[in-house]
Amino acid sequence: DAGITQSPRHKVTETGTPVTLRCHQTENHRYMYWYRQDPGHGLRLIHYSYGVKDTDKGEVSDGYSVSRSKTEDFLLTLESATSSQTSVYFCAISEPTSGTYEQYFGPGTRLTVT
Amino acid sequence: GESVGLHLPTLSVQEGDNSIINCAYSNSASDYFIWYKQESGKGPQFIIDIRSNMDKRQGQRVTVLLNKTVKHLSLQIAATQPGDSAVYFCAENNGNTPLVFGKGTRLSVIA
């Protein structure tokens, strides 16, 4: 998976609790992304980062925050998890200077909010 | 994982036949397109890409066709094999924004 790891791979949590998902890359790519994937919706962008401390919102950013203090790590935080945030979360990376806009994906984190 | 496939359009193909998966894109300003394959329980994997200055590109057993007039993209898989069974996504962008993904098509190969 192009040097991308996600942790944890599976998590079950209760409504109202905070949750942080971690994405770690060893490719030194500048861009990192968080998506969620749900039946009938495909991949939807939550937030993305175009450099250390530089982030922007995607189409479904409400209820999520992100941080990127190092090139290799991109954290996704659910401040107070809700059942609607039960989903599979994918991290992706890309490097525009490579000449393509291809994004490489991690293995995913399955989150269940009860 | 397995829940990804719910509610998706499905294409069933006999092993050895050719598969054609279609995608309509929305943004006429998009100039880069990618096809991804996602197997159950895994993240999407790159198959092939094409820029808007081309209308056809070939890879190993795969061909992508781009029709900008009707904003249509297709993925052709030759001699489909059981290992090709997966969900296939198209994605588009114009270089200034992250990729925008389609909802996907499930390809089911009948042995």
Query: Which residue shows structure tokens 């982030």?
Result: A55
pLDDT at B84: 97
pLDDT at A2: 64
CB contact under 8 A, A33 and B98: yes
CB A82 within 8 A of CB A15: yes
pLDDT at B5: 46
Residue B4's pLDDT band, with cuts at 50, 70 and 90, is: very low
| pLDDT tens sequence across A10-69 | 999 999 999 999 999 999 999 999 999 998 778 999 999 999 999 999 999 999 999 999
| pLDDT tens sequence across B20-41 | 999 998 888 899 999 999 999 9
Average pLDDT of chain B to the nearest whole number: 90
pLDDT reading at B3 higher than 50: no
If DSSP codes are grouped into helix, strand and coil, which group holds residue A70?
strand
**Considering CB atoms only, which of A42, A92, A104 is closest to B104?**
A42
The Cα A68–Cα B40 span in angstroms is 29
Residue range B71-97: average pLDDT? 91
pLDDT at B90: 94
Residue range B41-69: average pLDDT? 95
pLDDT more than 90, % of chain B? 74
Tell me how close the Cα of A35 comes to any Cα of chain B, in angstroms: 10
**Considering CB atoms only, which of B1, B3, B99 is closest to A103?**
B99
The Cα A9–Cα A2 span in angstroms is 17
Sign of CA dihedral A64, A103, B94, B99: negative
| pLDDT tens sequence across A60-104 | 999 999 999 999 999 999 999 999 999 999 999 999 877 778 899
